[in-house]
A and B are shown apart, each in its own frame.
Chain A
Amino acid sequence: MLPELLQGTDAGGFLIIQDSVNYSGRHLLWSFINAALNREEAVHVLGFEVSEEELKDGLKGSHIQRLHFHDAYTDPLGWTDQPAFTVHQFCLEKLTHLIKQTSQHKPATLVIDSLSWILRHRCPPDVCKTLQQLKKGGAVRVIIGLLHADMHQRGIVGSVCHLASSVITVAPGMKGDEAVAKTTKRSKSGKVMQEEAIFCIKEDLTVVVQSKPSHLGSRQTDPEEQETDPTANLTFNLRLSDTERKAKEKLALPFVFSKEKKSALLHSGPGSGRILYEPDANDDYDQEDPDDDLDV
């Protein structure tokens, strides 16, 4: 599922890359930026955690001219006179204005690096509201946000992820540059798909999905367990040969009757009846006064 998300085959939505201190999701985020740039889409980056130079250095060799960096790294809280972008400007009007300024033609990709910064300084319901408005509004095609899940309370992470159409949770893998991505994708019809994949990111920011380890480890152990047959070394016979089986079936068990006798015993004859009752609108169910003899 990870390659499809990278290719951006979906009509849009809101994607969250959830990471923790054990493994940074920023390289995967850059891969998403790179993939979007290669598709010749305009990409707007709200950079809180990484400077413009570092990002552009990381994206060497891509079509950087379509990348629009909104610098919130130098002054995220607006302490100087000329802040480029601050946390407090994270609202629908400002962002649509910013995006409309530069890319008029096509809905753009908005990358937020990272949502954690915004969530630290703004109240979560407002952030959720803005994200939902952006998702519904026409200016942005895809929102991709990085979220450091271990920085926030579980409820905040849950609330933000509840809005997302796809969530990729990254964790370190077994070997050096490998990582495990757990992808959850919600389709519009309400269907939920989940997948786990081991991936590594190459120098040119392409993502190579190595395998789909979906419970491979646990499945390998299963056949071994089944191989040990407890009936293998028994001192007595558990099996029947064909002749033995025939002999067994020929034997009539006590109290086994013929079909006719059984049906005569079990089926009640035509003389008996049964009560079928359907409640009716005029039925009166009165628990307090069944006999109607009290002055209620």
Chain B
Amino acid sequence: MVNDLVVDLSRLQFASTALYHFLFVPLTLGLTVLLAVMETVYVTTGREIYRQMTQFWTKLLLINFALGVATGLTMEFQFGTNWSYYSSFVGDTFGAPLAIEGLMAFFMESTFIGLMVFGWDRLTKAQHLIVTYLVALGSNFSALWILVANSFMQHPQGAEFNPVTMRMELTSFADLFFNPDAQAKFVHTVLAGYVTAAIFVCSVSAWYLLQRRHIDFARRSFRVAAVFGVLGSAGVLTLGDALGYVGAHVQPTKLAAMEALWKSEPAPMSFTAIALPNQAEQRNDFAITVPALLSLLVTHSWSGTVPAIDELEGRARERVRNGIPAVQAMEKLSANPQDAAALAQFKAHGADVGYGFLVQRYAPGGDLTKVTDADIAQAARDAIPEVWIVFWSFRLMVGFGLLMLAYMVLATMMSLANKVETQRWFQWASVLMIPVPFLACEMGWLVAEVGRQPWSVYEMLPTWLSASTHSVSYMVFSISGFVLLYTIFAIVEIFLMLHFIKKGPEAHGHAGAAKLAGAY
């Protein structure tokens, strides 16, 4: 059996390395596309300043990209090193999109980013532009496949549990790929990346305007980014809404936690705007509610309802009871795969096998015959994620999203009216916006992944069972190593970013340099 502390430390390590990785990903996603836009303007108009813009922002992209690649390696390793049972349980289905991501997307992105940097004097203008587009396409395809994989964890569609091989096996590749969660999440995440890049470029450009340096460069960069960002942020909110709509159907526990919805109520359900959720007593210690709004928001109708936590917990209790014989049948099949009675027993109860695992945590020595009603009630309570984290990270994400939409609309209007150069308050506001998209993205990750708990694969595999059987000392060793390395990385990255932003585009211009033989 797995040690609880090891599971918690494994979760801590995964969450912190994933959140760290996710600081770099959205910027790469958006900036590669924004660079393709800038370079398109350069190639079609032939104006030098757009080449200068493309090259300067490429340099900042590379500083960011290096860390994205580096911390991405950690993510690929970690499923195997720390979540080995998860890996063998779902590798058949979950591994495929990850491998395809490498084949189709990451290979393309990584091969062409080399040419994007080193190829300026080796490729024709049109060829280089195509290379830049391929980098952007690669990074976006990468996001697509990663999110197809992630959506399988959220809504395991396209696979079935096979009691003989004791793992989830692919039943339909199309169902895996066209997971509704994946479709909405892909567009939502990618657009969030575009907004991140847009605000990054706007902020840095506004800083130059504040300094009264590189005026023309900054003004034009600002405008391209603002228009790009306003489209993106409108899309993020629309798709975020679609994602909530999908979530209402496929992950009711996440939705209930997002809305701190403890007690069932008839339609139209009221919306809790702000609350202090109290998980122990299953109520909000304090709440401000808006009547009837929730039904409209999540079901897009006045008469729709969604299940609250009390109802979901009741359902979970039934499913735990039904899951126990499923796990017992699986154990018999493990000893003898030809056991027909066990197979029939599994067929009858197998849909809830995940809930059987959920309660096994409390079974003495893993023996499910010793499970008590109290254990079952506890397992059903576990089926609800930690409400206050999900509730508040969701509200912060949406709040930041609305703030960014307002900012981007304002930025576009100011830019088109040529007012950005003169309004110092707005330049300051733009500089101060820089952390907002990053925070919003991190909050989005928290909503999605904390809201998925207690499952690593929703309703199929509990997180506690997914972890590798390491010792606590191994976990302390690895977490210490990550903290040390990632802290150094963060310092170096911020130092280099600030250094090159301060240096600005003109100092770097290699317009005269004959060859880029020594780009590194």
Chains A and B come from one and the same complex: no
Q: Which residues of B contact A (CB under 8 A)?
A: none
